Amino acid sequence: MKHTIVMTGASRGIGRVAARNILRRSPDLHLLVVARASSGAQLAAELATGGHTVSHVSADLGSLDSVRSAATEIRDRLEGGDLPPLRGFVGNAGMQYTNALTETPDGFEATFTVNVLANHLFVRLLQDRFAPPARIVITASDTHFGDFRHNMGMVPGPAWKSPDVLARTGAFAKPDTAAAGRTAYSTSKLAAIYLVHEYARRLPAGIDAVAHNPGFVPGTGLARNAGPVSRFAMRRILPVMTLTPFATSREAAGRHLADVVLGTFQAPTGSYIDRDRVDRSSGDSYNPRREGELWDAAERFTAG
């Protein structure tokens, strides 16, 4: 049956591999990619090679007004019959900055905006347009564990605070440093899991929500805002770690994400999927009080 999946973060890395796998394995799919205006049309054309059905909607995920406009356009296309029924949303786009001081046009910290608020706004504005059975997949990260075992000390663990603090610049110690930027990243990924738990509680039956951890995947575009040394290490040195159990290749991570999106294996709503298996996320990630506070704050921040 013809259906639509909306996907962010399909232009490079894990998302690009996943998009190709999803299209190859789901011939009835209309894949709608969300990307910046300068790249969206080209991305859709490249993914459509081979007879696949791909279109795009332009959005800057660092601007809630832009995300709201994109979601509204998707709603209009669904209501007008330009798109087949909506069966999935993949919030795969992610960003890590070299500080915790980068502010968006909305006045929020940029990491929190892209990794948390943009996904939430898409989910909420498209919620009543999903045609069950549907699945929402949010890309998480094992950096939210905050221990050496999961990230080999490369990323500081989350430093949870009130969502009203986390959403603004300067939330962490020495906010002008790369360490603060990485803390903002790991904290945003913990927040993403909290919201997945809330979606599992609040969304109508037939709309599942899961968090997917791709593992440590060197060579993606995640560190594109890092300094030259870090970018060189991610692109040229760390990829050799994919030959060890400590890292995952882009190809494997993309296949795993495609499996999650297509529901290849069972994963109850609210699940944390570690690469290719359902697992428990960190102990701190199960906190109904924080989850409820974050939901309320995200609702306020994205109201418009």
pLDDT digits (tens, 9 = 90+) for 74-108: 999 999 999 999 999 999 999 999 999 999 999 99
pLDDT, residue 1, reads 85
Q: What percent of the chain has pLDDT over 70?
A: 89
pLDDT at 148: 79
Amino acid at 205: A
What distance in Å separates the CA atoms of residue 249 and residue 216, rounded to the nearest whole number?
8
What is the pLDDT at residue 255? 97
Q: Give residue 231's pLDDT.
A: 46
- Give residue-wise pLDDT tens across range 214-228: 998 776 544 444 455
Q: So what's the pLDDT on residue 242?
A: 44
Instruction: Give the pLDDT confidence of 114-141 residue by residue, as tens digits.
Output: 999 999 999 999 999 999 999 999 999 9
Q: Who contacts 240 (Cβ-Cβ below 8 Å, separation ≥6)? A: none
Which strands, in side-by-side order, build the sheet including 272-274?
A: 53-58, 29-35, 3-8, 86-91, 130-139, 207-213, 272-274, 277-279
Amino acid 25: pLDDT: 97
Distance CA 81, CA 228 (A): 47
pLDDT reported for residue 227: 53
Rounded CA-CA distance 6/55 in Å is 10
Distance CA 193, CA 48 (A): 32
153-210 pLDDT, tens per residue? Answer: 778 999 999 999 999 999 999 999 999 999 999 999 999 999 999 999 999 999 999 9
Share of the chain residues as helix, strand and coil, in percent rounded to the nearest 5: 45, 15, 35
pLDDT tens readout for residues 2-15: 999 999 999 999 99
